Amino acid sequence: MTRTALIYHPIYLLHGAFGHPEKKERLTTILDKIQSEKLDVDFITPKPATVTQVATIHGRRYIDQVKAICEHGGGHLDVDTILSESSYDAALMAAGGALTAVDAVMGDYGSAFALVRPPGHHALPNRGMGFCIFNNIAIAAKHAQARGLEKVLIVDWDVHHGNGTNDIFYSDPGVLYFSTHQYPHYPGTGRADEVGEDDAQGFTVNVPLPSGTADAGYLIAYREILLPIALEFKPDIVLVSAGQDPHKDDPLGGMRLTCAGFGAVAGVVKEIASTCCRGRLAASLEGGYNLQAQAEAVVAEIRAFGGEVPQIRGTDPVVAGRIEEVKKIQSSYWSCFS
C-alpha cells in the first residue's frame, strides 16, 4: 500500500449542537476504527484556512456573518445548519484540513484523507445549508489551482447532491465536477441535464441514481461514466467529497452501498489519479450518519487508496438504463461517448 496522510484536528469536535446527526462522534468513531485496524497512515495536523483563502469561494459578508453568529454564542444558518460558539474556528480548520490534504499529495504522500467537520459540499458562496458552512472541497480546488494545478477533478459520492460545489464551478472549465447521488432526494438538484454553462458545458457530470442502488450499480456509473470522461479530461489532481451516507445502513439515505462497494468506487478514483496525475488524490469527509458503517466505509476507502481494492461483480439493469441516458447527454461534450 502507498502511504496515506490523514488530516485531523481536535477542534473539529467542538462544532455543533447536542442531538444533531452531524455530531462529533462521527469523527471519534472513525479514529477509533483506524486505530483498531492498524492502518499504515500518518496523521497531519492542519492549519486553519485564512479568510483570504475562504474568500476565493465565499463572500466576505457571509464569512463575517458566520463569525458574528459564533461570537454571540451560536445560532442557525438554516433549520438544519446549527452554529455553536466554536463553529467558525472549526469551519476555518475544516477548510484548512482540505488544503492540507492537497499539500500532502503535492508532497510525499500517495493520497490524503481530511477527516473534518463541519462538511462542506452544500455550502453556496453566500449561504450555508445542509449541515455545511464553508465549501471545503471547493476551497481546496482553488488552492490546488493557485499552486499551479490547472485542471481539477472533483468526485462526489455523497448520497446527497453537492449543490454548492455544482453551482460554484458551473461555468468553470478548469474544474470537472462529477456526482453520483440519490435522486430525487435532498436538496433536489443534480439532474442529468445539469451539465454546466457557457464554455464549461460538459464539465458538470451529474449521475442521478434511483433509491436502492447497490454496489454493482455504483461501479457501473464510475467505470462507464467517470473513468472515460476523466481520462479524456486528464486532471492534474483528483479531489473527493467523500460522503458515506450511501451506505445501506445509513439513516438519512436510501442506497444499498456496502463497504466493499465504497472500496471499489475509491479504487476507480485511485486508478484515475494514478493514470493522469502521478497519484495526486485528496479526499475530504462529507456525510455519513451511521457511526459504525461510516467508520468501516472510510477504512475501506483508505485501503483502496493504498491499492487494496475489492472486486465487485454483477449488473443493475435499472442503473444501466440511467447510465445510457447520461452518456447520451454527455456525448455532445466528450468524444469518448460519440
Catalytic residue numbers?
A: 122
Yes or no: say if 301 and 218 are a contact pair by the CB < 8 Å rule. Answer: no
Taking CA atoms, 92 is separated from 67, 154, 164, 295, in Å, by: 10, 20, 17, 24
Yes or no: say if 95 and 50 are a contact pair by the CB < 8 Å rule. Answer: no
Output the furthest CA–CA distance in the chain (Å, rounded): 56
Dihedral of CA atoms 113, 141, 70, 286 in degrees, nearest 10, equals -40
What radius of gyration, in Å, describes the C-alpha atoms of the chain?
A: 18
Tell me how far the alpha carbon of residue 40 is from its chain's centroid: 22
Taking CA atoms, 273 is separated from 85, 109, 215, 278, 324, in Å, by: 38, 13, 21, 6, 25
Residue 198: closest CA among 327, 337, 333: 333
Q: Where are the alpha helices (DSSP H) in 205-290?
A: 215-221, 227-233, 259-276
Yes or no: say if 178 and 233 are a contact pair by the CB < 8 Å rule. Answer: no
The whole-angstrom separation of Cα 236 and Cα 280 is 8
Tell me how far the alpha carbon of residue 139 is from its chain's centroid: 12
Tell me how far the alpha carbon of residue 271 is from its chain's centroid: 17
The x, y and z cell numbers of residue 152, run together, are 481539477
